[in-house]
Chain A
Amino acid sequence: MNQPSARRRRTGYLFCLPGMAFLALFLAYPLLYNVWTSVHDLDLGQLLGGAERFNGLDNYRSVADDPAFWHSVRLSLVFTCGSLLLQFTIGFALALLFARPFPLNGLMRSLLLIAWLLPPVVSGTLFRWMLDAESGAYNALFQAVGLSGLSHDWLTDPSTSMAGVVFANVWVGVPFNMLLLLVGLHTIDPELHEAAAIDGASAWQRLRHITLPLMRPVSVTVLLLGLLYTFKVFDLVFVMTGGGPVDATRVLSLYVYEVFFTFFRFGQGAAAGLLLLVVPLLAGVWYVRRLRREDEAPAGGAV
């Protein structure tokens, strides 16, 4: 095992070849082709091959001049920050609860994960129904507990539809946040808490001075993974609102989809798409470098 012969190395490369070749062909090449498309004038006419005209940065200029693009950037920021803040906070609170041993703990935890595993299209359909103005369960629930002020036509009112999709996205994201934070909580030495309790520290003080500081590195990781996932969200919003009403939820991924697949402005779609790629790449590279220092591979979560 520890004397790599030339033959063994050759076999190793042969083992790697199919997988890496596949990713080169279906992932790396399309992404590079996207760069090429972004500096050409390409539309439906030349879809099946034709003479695309090189047009330099024209596509980038038209995207930058499009107010709808900047609107969608703003919406993406709101969607991402809102989702991250809420799912992290709720996930942390749940992790603190589930970190305590109690009967049926594991069962409850697994049940919560269902929310995260359901296909986003299903969750989106589900929340369309839950938030339905006429007979949605949430409005009925609000009325039942005397909060009828909260009954509202959430998804069809442009001023509240963003809150509606963030709400659904937080629902999807909480279990994953909880799971990872729970793993982090379990790494904290319980003796620290015991010693502090003996010294008369209250539960609140222990949370503030022991748990939170020790959870900082894990929290950074969880927030970063959350950022990567939230930035990618497409299905959920597409199914819930399609970007509407009146563009109120057209986040960046939906904007790129529309430019590319509705208007067939391929060059501009590619240009806008590249901007959508930059944020996750920068964040991801930073994260990977940070992990490398810890010499640990992250789990690839399903997105």
Chain B
Amino acid sequence: MRPPRHPWLLTAIATLVTAVFLLPVYWMVKTSLTRPDRIQTPDPQWAPSPVTGENYSTALGYEGLTRALLNSLVISCGVVALTLLLGVPLAYALARIRMRGSGTMVLALLVAQLPPAIVLAAPLFILERRAGLTGTYLGLIAADTTLTLPFTVIVLRPVMRSMSPELEEAALVDGCGLPGVLLRVVLPLMVPGVVAAAGLSFLIGWGEFLFGLTLADGPDVQPVTVLLNAFIGQHGTSWGALMATATLISIPVVCVFAVFQRFVVGGLTAGSVRG
């Protein structure tokens, strides 16, 4: 590709496109900072004046919001922990150890990403109800991990494959067991891949809605996404408070993305498309 003649012209076009595209996100933040009496006017303001935190205190005063934010944090961290705990050894075995059935397992992990969540939520609701798991963090963490574990293994396996095996062999010769090799040699080398998997798993756990809606059983373990949906029903026209809630939910997402961006994008596109 030759360098374009007017690179800044392209920058201008891209800026315009991005601005138009991200207008809803700007509007969310703007609305959340606008005085409630100035939100619903026939001709909206483009910038909040004066900036106010009123909507945030209204939202945080709503029943259960702080609890729900905490619940979501517990669930997301639980999802990350469980996903890595189960996924890292599994990915390593599938990448490095010749076993019968590993091809079948990889295929199973690919197919595992296909079922729509609603098809799984329905039987899980019955089975978790019978096992006493509805209304527990564990029940939600396990349900969310069915979404994160398959793709985590699929993303990590090629990363592990691409590392040169000499270090592992040296450690094995030195009498280190396989679990030790995994912990002391492989994991430190795989930080980017593991961070990407952890970041994506966190985002999925944080944003998950349907399992929360069907398996949470009340405010004790309800994630914040479910509460936001409930707020629409209860406070349908308090757009300021709704947008403050939505912004609060989005902040961790943008933070995680900003920190892990390079890892996440790399993990997403790793091998997904080859021309």
Which B residues touch A137, using CB under 8 A?
23-24, 27, 44
B13 touches A235 (CB 8 A): no
Q: A27-B146, A126-B28, A300-B151 are known contacts. Are A102 and B243 too (CB-CB below 8 A)?
A: no
User: B98 and A276: CB pair below 8 A?
Assistant: no
Chain A residues whose C-beta falls within 8 Å of the C-beta of B8 in the assembled complex: 102-103
Q: How far is the CB of A222 from chain B (nearest CB, A)?
A: 7
Cβ-neighbour of B22 out of A115, A256, A257 (below 8 A): A115
Chain B 1-26 against A: per-residue CB contact (8 Å), 1 yes, 0 no? 11110011011011101100111110
B253 touches A190 (CB 8 A): no
Min distance, Cβ B266 to any Cβ of chain A, angstroms = 10
Residues of B within 8 A of A222 (CB): 273
1/0 contact string of A7-44 vs chain B (CB within 8 Å): 01101110110111011001101110110010000100
Contact A260 B122 (CB under 8 A): yes
What class of interface size applies to chain B in its complex with A?
35 or more
Give bound CA distance, A277 to B162, whole Å.
Answer: 34
Q: A218-B273, A298-B272, A299-B268 are in contact. Are A235 and B14 (CB under 8 A)?
A: no
Q: Is B116 an interface residue (CB 8 A)?
A: yes
Cβ distance B246 to chain A, nearest Cβ, rounded Å: 5
Q: Report the Cα distance A296→B102, complex, angstroms.
A: 15
Contact of B99 among A12, A49, A235 (CB under 8 A): A12
Name the contact of B93 in the complex, choosing from A12, A49, A111 (C-beta under 8 A): A12
Q: Kindly state whether residue A73 has any CB partner on chain B within 8 Å.
A: no
CA distance A285 to B94 in the complex (A): 20
Query: Could you tell me the distance between the alpha carbons of A155 and B16 in the complex, rounded to whole angstroms?
Result: 27
With beta carbons under 8 angstroms apart, the residue of A49, A221, A256, A300 that contacts B150 is A300
| Cross-chain contact A11 with B142 (CB below 8 angstroms) | no
Asked if A157 is an interface residue, CB under 8 A from chain B, the answer is: no
Which residues on B sit within 8 Å (CB–CB) of A16?
Answer: 89-90, 93-94, 99, 102, 105
Contact mask B23-61 → A, CB, 8 Å, 1/0?
111011001000000011111100000000000000000
6 residue pairs, one from A and one from B, having the closest CB atoms: A300-B151, A119-B207, A187-B275, A12-B97, A19-B90, A299-B272
23 contacts between A and B (CB under 8 A): A15-B89, A19-B86, A31-B119, A42-B126, A49-B130, A97-B17, A100-B1, A102-B4, A103-B11, A108-B17, A108-B18, A110-B265, A121-B249, A126-B24, A179-B269, A218-B275, A231-B116, A232-B118, A234-B117, A260-B118, A285-B111, A298-B154, A299-B272
| 9 other A-B residue contacts (CB within 8 Å) besides A234-B209, A235-B225 | A27-B115, A102-B7, A102-B10, A105-B14, A108-B17, A112-B22, A125-B229, A134-B40, A137-B44
